[in-house]
């Protein structure tokens, strides 16, 4: 009896050691890929404390030979506070516009029965395949014709609705049960009232996902500000302003200045994502339930 018990104990111990080894190997693989994922970010931080010559000579070195804060001083002496304010104005305006318009359009495509609904949705999805650079010249011509160049209206309005946001919200609304909407209709609520008071409060995870995506996309947008505000530096956003100072030091591109600026630009998006990441994952997962 004791021998059988000892054999069972040995098998249990071997199985336990095997599980531990597998777990350690799994953690090692995850840490390796996590390091690969973080490597570009670490290189950017390191490059911001290097000189341009050192970046050219040793671009993959994580520890600067002679740490320098010259790049950060260039950023600090620029119009960074103005560009930061402009970025917040544009980003908040674009995000609020997308929350309202994308959810409104998504609800119409998900719940309203009207001729051509499927064709319109197919057209919206098809626009996702159009590269942004293709629309650069037409966008500039339209903004110039409307007198919206070099203004906040030209920076915000063209981005206040987007195809992916409509697609995301439509998919999410289709996962919401219809019973409460039908009850609201019985009580005499209009379509807009039903959407605003009944459906929208139940779509908070989808709205948060859309908020994060819109905030990140408009905050990091470079091409559109370059088109919409080519000459008025008073309305430049962070990506556009920092790109100008990175090229205004007598070199083709001052990499340490560009990296220092990119670090500062990344922080607000990182904070927003860390705060709302749980809701973001819930919203994206819920939007894929139906489709």
Residue identified by tokens 């070195």 is: 61
Q: Decide if 87 is inside a domain.
A: yes
Region 179-188 average pLDDT: 82
Q: 49 is written with which tokens?
A: 């404390």
Residues 127 and 42 in one domain: no
Q: Decide if 56 is inside a domain.
A: no
Decide if 152 contacts 87 (C-beta within 8 A). Answer: no
Q: Decide if 34 is inside a domain.
A: yes
In whole numbers, what is the pLDDT of the chain averaged over residues? 84
Residues 100 and 226 in one domain: yes
pLDDT of residue 286: 55
Residues 101 and 18 in one domain: no
Q: C-alpha 52: how far from its chain's center?
A: 30
Segment (H or E) for 64: none
pLDDT, one tens digit per residue, over 64-75 is 888 888 888 888
Segment (H or E) for 163: helix 163-174
Contacts 24+ apart (CB under 8 A), 110-117: 110/169, 110/170, 110/171, 110/173, 110/174, 111/173, 111/178, 111/181, 111/199, 112/191
Q: Decide if 65 is inside a domain.
A: no
pLDDT of residue 176: 82
pLDDT, one tens digit per residue, over 169-180 is 998 888 888 888
Range of the domain at 217: 70-287
Per-residue burial over 228-262, b = 16 or more CB atoms within 10 Å of its CB, e = otherwise: bbeeeeebbbbbbbbbebbeeeeeeebbbbbbbbb
Residues 27 and 106 in one domain: no
Task: Give the 3-state secondary structure of residue 59.
Answer: coil
Region 174-199 average pLDDT: 85
User: How many domains does the chain divide into?
Assistant: 2
Q: Decide if 150 is inside a domain.
A: yes
Residues 6 or more apart in contact with residue 95 via CB below 8 angstroms? 211, 214, 215, 218
């Amino acid at each position: 009896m004791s021998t059988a018990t000892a054999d069972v104990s040995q098998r249990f111990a071997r199985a336990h050691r095997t599980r531990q080894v597998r777990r350690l190997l799994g953690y090692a693989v995850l840490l390796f890929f996590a390091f690969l994922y973080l490597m570009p970010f670490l290189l950017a931080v390191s490059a911001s404390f290097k000189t341009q010559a050192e970046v050219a000579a040793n671009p993959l070195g994580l520890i600067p030979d002679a740490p320098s804060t010259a790049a950060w001083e260039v950023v600090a002496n620029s119009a960074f506070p103005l560009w930061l304010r402009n970025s917040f104005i544009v980003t908040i305006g674009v995000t609020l516009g997308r929350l309202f318009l994308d959810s409104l359009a998504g609800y119409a495509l998900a719940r309203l029965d009207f001729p051509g609904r499927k064709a319109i949705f197919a057209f919206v999805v098809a626009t996702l395949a159009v590269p942004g650079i293709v629309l650069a010249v037409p966008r500039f011509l339209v903004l110039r014709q409307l007198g919206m160049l070099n203004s906040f209206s030209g920076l915000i309005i063209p981005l206040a609705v987007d195809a992916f946001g409509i697609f995301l919200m439509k998919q999410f609304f289709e996962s919401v049960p219809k019973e409460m909407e039908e009850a609201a209709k019985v009580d005499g609520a209009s379509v807009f009232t039903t959407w605003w008071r009944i459906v929208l409060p139940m779509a908070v995870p989808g709205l948060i996902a859309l908020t994060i995506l819109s905030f990140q996309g408009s905050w990091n947008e470079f091409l559109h500000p370059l088109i919409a505000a080519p000459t008025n530096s008073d309305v430049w956003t962070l990506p556009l302003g920092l790109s100008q100072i990175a090229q205004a030091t007598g070199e083709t591109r001052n990499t340490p200045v560009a990296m220092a600026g990119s670090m500062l630009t990344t922080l607000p998006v990182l904070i927003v994502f860390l705060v709302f990441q749980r809701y973001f994952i819930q919203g994206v997962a819920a939007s894929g339930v139906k489709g």
